[in-house]
Every structure is written in structure tokens, then in C-alpha cells.
A = this chain, B = another copy of it.
Amino acid sequence: MMVAVKDRVRFVETDLMGVVHHSNYLRWFEMARVEYLRTANVLLPDLIADGILFPITEVQCKYRQSAYFDEMIRVEATLADFSRAKLCFAYRVVRETDNVLLAEGTTQNVFTDDKGRVIRLPQLYFERIEAVRQAENGGVA
């Protein structure tokens, strides 16, 4: 299943070259990742309350076209790889008005306890995420 969020490019997200600063795409990826997990009823504050952290261990992004202030963008997330040890998302950022691809990328995160030791995701959370991963797409949120 693919989960998407839409947002409008903020003024503060631009830089003096007149386009969105490349670091902000990672923040947009995060919005889509959070929404994906929300769809699975996995809320990050619940994980943290259970003593589970989820640090990003790897990220990559290819930038295809610039994004500009005030444009509506859509960020799509799919789960590319998933086990109780790690979570790998793939993302596409598209301009909402004409579906032009602006960027695509991936993130990987692991799960750790609050001492930073790697742990396995509890079965309850695993099953919720797995159910969404296997679901057919019922339309973009």
C-alpha cells in the first residue's frame, strides 16, 4: 500500500537560490513516513512510551526538479523492506498540480531501546505495519 500526504511549500523552506533547500525533502519524507505508520495505527509517541526508539540509519535522495514556494506537493511513501529489525521506506515527491516528479529517495531505520541498543520491534507493532504493507491501495489519504 502507498500512503501520501500533501502540503504547501513554506516560505522558510526556500533558500537564496529561490528554490526549496534540499535538506527539507528529508523532513517531507518524514511526514509521509509518520502518516504511513498512523495508517497502521502505530503512533510514534506510543513507541517512545514503550521505550522503543527508531533512529534513521540511512537516507538517500535524488533531486529531479526544483520545488518552489507555495506549490502544493504530494509525498508518497511505500514500505520497501520490512522486518522486526528494520524499516525501509521509499518515497516520491511530486508536484500536485501536474504530477511532475520532484525527488525520490529512501530511508532506513532500526529500532533501539533508550540506551541505543538495537532491539526487535514487538510483534504487535510488526503485525499492524505488515497488514498495511500488504493491503491493496484503497486510494490516497
Which residues of A does B touch, CB under 8 Å?
7-8, 10-12, 14-19, 21-24, 26-27, 30-31, 34, 38, 43-45, 48, 53-63, 66, 68-70, 116
Docked pose: A30 CA to B8 CA in angstroms: 12
Docked pose: A57 CA to B56 CA in angstroms: 21
Residue of B nearest to A53 (CB): B17
When the two chains form their complex, are residues B69 and A58 in contact, meaning their CB atoms are under 8 A apart? no
Answer whether A11 and B22 are a contact pair too, CB < 8 Å, given A66-B55, A69-B44: no
Q: A38 contacts which chain B residues (CB < 8 A)? A: 70
Docked pose: A26 CA to B24 CA in angstroms: 9
When the two chains form their complex, are residues B22 and A26 in contact, meaning their CB atoms are under 8 A apart? yes
